[in-house]
């Protein structure tokens, strides 16, 4: 039933993966890794702490970590259930796939864990910061990292799209849970503070 979609996905992949050069090879290897993005992670962490209310930043960091962890865990489960070979492991097109540094990834690729993870973080943080400039920065970062997976030959576009959708949904949901948790704990602390004041007055 979905064979036409898979074939179309394969054609789009081969077109995008076929656009490459030696310079871009090196660039995309850096993009797909974590080391290059450490300054961004540090900057985002500092912004969370700087803009967060007392105790609020703790919930932000905690639920952001949960969002990324969940997206990674669920994407791996989906990979093992669907068992769609990565293009780098697909014997039908392997000879056409541009591979960099012989990096082929694991056997299965649907959905992309990279896409799920970065879009979960982007989705969560755009709700946290609530500014269009942050939207552009975060979703631009997530899109670039996700595209690098196609460039390197380890994911089809459909792997990326579905992984990104999964990540966005998880990021939004975790942000909602973060707000509820922060409000609940805030009310609990305020209630205890008032009770303590009443006790002291007695």
Q: What is the pLDDT of residues 76-133, one digit of tens each?
A: 999 999 999 999 999 999 999 999 999 999 999 999 999 999 999 999 999 988 878 8
Note the pLDDT of residue 47.
Answer: 85
What pLDDT, in 10s, does the model give residues 5-63?
Answer: 999 999 999 999 999 999 999 999 999 988 888 898 898 888 888 776 666 788 889 99
What pLDDT, in 10s, does the model give residues 155-165?
Answer: 999 999 999 99
Tell me the sheet residues that pair with 85.
108
Report the candidate in 55, 23, 1, 16 with the shortest Cα–Cα distance to residue 159.
16
Domain coordinates in residue numbering, the chain: 11-201
Residue 136 CB coordination number (10 Å): 11
Letter string b/e over residues 73-104, b meaning 16 or more CB atoms within 10 A of that residue's CB = ebbeebbeeeebbbbbbbeeeeeebbebeeeb
Q: Lowest mean pLDDT of 51-55, 69-73, 147-151, name the range.
A: 51-55
Note the pLDDT of residue 89.
Answer: 94
Cα four-point dihedral sign 134, 137, 139, 141: negative
Structure token pair of residue 132: 């269009």
Cα–Cα distance for residue pair 39/58, rounded to 1 Å: 20
Structure token pair of residue 164: 């990104």
Cα–Cα distance for residue pair 149/13, rounded to 1 Å: 11
Note the pLDDT of residue 36.
Answer: 85
């Amino acid at each position: 039933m979905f064979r036409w979609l898979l074939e179309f996905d394969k054609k789009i992949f081969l077109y995008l993966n076929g656009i490459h050069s030696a310079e871009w090879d090196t660039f995309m290897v850096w993009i797909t890794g974590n080391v290059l993005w450490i300054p961004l992670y540090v900057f985002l962490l500092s912004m969370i702490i700087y803009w967060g209310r007392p105790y609020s930043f703790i919930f932000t960091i905690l639920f952001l970590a949960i969002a990324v962890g969940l997206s990674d865990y669920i994407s791996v489960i989906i990979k093992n259930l669907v068992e769609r070979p990565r293009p780098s492991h697909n014997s039908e097109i392997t000879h056409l796939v541009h591979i960099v540094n012989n990096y082929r990834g694991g056997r299965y690729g649907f959905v992309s864990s990279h896409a799920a993870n970065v879009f979960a973080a982007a989705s969560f943080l755009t709700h946290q910061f609530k500014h269009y400039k942050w939207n552009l920065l975060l979703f631009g970062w997530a899109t670039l990292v996700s595209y690098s997976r196609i460039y390197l030959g380890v994911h089809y576009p459909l792997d990326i799209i579905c992984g990104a959708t999964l990540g966005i949904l998880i990021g939004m949901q975790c942000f909602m849970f973060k707000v509820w948790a922060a409000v609940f704990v805030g009310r609990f602390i305020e209630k205890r503070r008032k009770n303590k004041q009443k006790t002291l007055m007695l």
